[in-house]
A and B are shown apart, each in its own frame.
Chain A
Amino acid sequence: MIPSVLSVASVASVASVARLSAFLLVALLPAIDLLLPTTWKFASLVPAIMVYAIIGLGLNLITGFTGLFNLGSAAFMAIGAYTFAILTCPIYPFQIGFFPGLLAATAMGGIAGLLLSLPVMRLRGDYVAIVTLGFGEIVQDVLKNLDAVTKGTQGLNPVAVPAMPGVSFSVGNYVPWYYLYLVLLIAVVWLCHNLRYSRLGRSWVAVREDELAARSMGLPTPWIKQIAFALGSALCATGGAMFASLAGTSIEPGFYDFQQSVIILCIVIVGGMGNITGVLLGACIMVGFNSIVLTKLTEMMSRNGWTGDNVLASPGNWKFMLYGIALILMMRLRPKGLLPAKEVPAELRYRDRDRDRDKAPAGAN
């Protein structure tokens, strides 16, 4: 018994050391970045990863915790971005500023999620995926066609940047963005962690594991699914608004397409469905690969004059091939993600340990 307890303890401490060093690395990254040669600097690209981490955590509430397969998360990102843009863009009279805009975008995402959840909660697995996919297409179309409000394919700009006394948020200076978004990300992680172990979070997992059983235990499953959908969509919209502010524009409706939704889904799946650390890792891998590795590779190749007319010669063109192969291999080899969620909750594990101790022969302890 003792060796196994020891190994459990050391595994736990290894995990906490890893977590602490990862946090220190992230917190000090702008300083480390100063020491890197110009061509290798990448910290300015990290705030986008934080934004996608927040969106991934939102989808994780829906798909990871509750098990509803949502293929329309980019639509909620779009709703957040456009709400934020309309409320803060100088061409409209509102101009309410960054933080009120962020709150309004979050609320709008929550309301839209609640509305979409009304039809979704009656459907089973793969039909949920199809309805959310259709919703994503409809949102794109609406944003594109209501060009009197959304400026169609041009997108709305400029949008508000955060305003804080004594700090200037400008395009060239990424450090304030970095720390503001880091604080927001930590707040969202804290929120998701507490939600997961609340009464509500436990009912989400119960619905995911066996909806019929959860229902016969007296859980109001439609209501539970709706709350998950609304909260998750709200977080996706928060992320969308943050992304718009970082980019300085609501971008354009075509940006929030099916492929965007799948990239967000990949963040949740690659990291580990239902695991918050896993989602953070997934965001680093997926977005880091796209915005850091591929960008740096393209820069390096064009510096050396390796690019040409050939479609194969540009690393960016291989993106979806690599995403696709990654998805296929993940599903085959590690369907629960790189960091799978702990399936057995803490309460059950304690009972297992007690039972083992009771069974152990006298003198072993």
Chain B
Amino acid sequence: MSTWEIILQLLITGLANGLIIALIALGYTMVYGIVELINFAHGDVMMLGCFLALTIVGLLGGEVAAPWLAIGLMLLLVPPFCAALNWMIDRHVYRPLRNAPKLTVLVSAIGVSFVCVNLGMFWGGLPMEVFGGGAQAASAKSFPDLLGYHNLLGNDAVVQLTSKEVMVAVITVPLMILLTWFVSRTRLGTAMRAVAQNPTAAQLMGIDTNRVVGLTFIIGGALAGVASVVAALYTTSISFQMGYRNGLDAFTAAVLGGIGNLPGAVLGALCIGLARAVMEGWVPNGGQWSNTVVFGVLILVLVFRPTGILGSRVREKV
């Protein structure tokens, strides 16, 4: 492989991974922008979405004859499930603590995350064939490769652009455009921006803040649901611990781009995806250090530019 081909390959994998992280990061950044809460459970909601997707595949009979039907069914069922779950978490855990100190809510979020992780482990023990018959609940589950391997650049091309990477782009990019349109052009989107800017003033203007916050959690959850289907199809492996890892990547992306900023989250996620691809595909022995690089970047950004790449400076009020 020539250098250019390697770079092209890293770009392709990096961007595909980055787009998946971006969907999760959008949920983090929207929730943080509106209630200033690091929703630790967000990654685990996505993990539970993956388990639901695998259950659906299992109910359809494992290796499906009509993969597009299975994918369509997953995209139809998993996002509403994740949205409902995220909404319920907000309604019953975070909303009663809306006026409590920030750290109180953060600790509750860690608690919710623990509960979700444990639920994921139990879910992995379902006596279904796709889960390994329920004998080893905690082990990683392999997700059926519904899309197969098709190199779109030809079977003997060196650079691989498979149908999976195209699927990632085809599903995620329109969603991001839709979200941008929703937030900037619709009445509810305007209400969301108003609540993010100043909740009290928004309430005085007649905006039902609780409804807007709930809606934010629903949208964030739905995006995580789509991300879970896409990630499961792309990586073909899921485990009950994947939520923590994906959540950390997504959160790092959100901070990197400037937390509370939607284009920033996508930009940050693409950076993280590319950085991981470079570490894993180029640097010798880089794969085992990729976490260190990602979190090192996170710490450096927080210390030297806490507002991220695209964020604007907010002064702490007395």
Contacts and interface: CB of A to CB of B under 8 A. Distances in A.
A162 to B, nearest CB: 35
A325 B288 CA distance: 34
Give the interface size bracket for B toward A. Answer: 35 or more
Interface in A288-314: 309-312
Contact of A327 (B38, B107, B137, B318): B107
A284 interface: no
Contact of A332 (B96, B115, B291): B96
Nearest to A269: B107
Nearest to B41: A324
A94 interface: no
B119 A321 contact: yes
Given A134-B299, A325-B111, A126 B106 contact: yes
Interface of B: 36, 38, 93, 96-97, 100-108, 110-119, 121-122, 124-125, 134-135, 137-138, 244, 248, 251-252, 255, 288-289, 291-292, 295-296, 298-299, 302-303, 306, 316, 318
Given A134-B295, A311-B121, A328 B115 contact: yes
A18 interface: no
Contacts, number: 130
A328 B111 contact: yes
Interface of A: 69, 119, 122-127, 129-131, 133-135, 137-138, 141-142, 144-145, 212, 258-259, 262, 265, 269, 309-312, 317-321, 323-328, 330-332, 335
Contact of A130 (B104, B108, B251, B292): B251
Contacts of A331: 97, 100, 104-105, 107-108, 111
Contacts of A124: 316
A327 B291 contact: no
A256 to B, nearest CB: 14
Given A327-B107, A327-B111, A331-B108, A145 B134 contact: no
A317 B121 contact: yes
Nearest to B100: A335
A186 B109 CA distance: 34
A145 B290 CA distance: 11
B318 A212 contact: yes
B115 A325 contact: yes
A123 B316 CA distance: 11
B24 to A, nearest CB: 16
B299 to A, nearest CB: 5
28 contacts: A126-B102, A126-B106, A129-B38, A129-B103, A130-B302, A131-B299, A131-B302, A133-B248, A134-B252, A135-B295, A138-B292, A141-B292, A142-B292, A311-B122, A311-B124, A311-B125, A312-B122, A317-B121, A319-B118, A320-B118, A321-B115, A321-B119, A324-B115, A328-B93, A328-B108, A332-B108, A335-B101, A335-B104
Contacts of B96: 332
Nearest to B290: A141
Most buried by B among A122, A134, A312, A317: A134
A18 B36 CA distance: 42
Given A119-B299, A124-B316, A142-B292, A324 B106 contact: no
A258 B110 CA distance: 10
Given A127-B306, A145-B288, A311-B121, A137 B103 contact: no
A43 B298 CA distance: 44
A327 B110 contact: yes
B97 A332 contact: yes
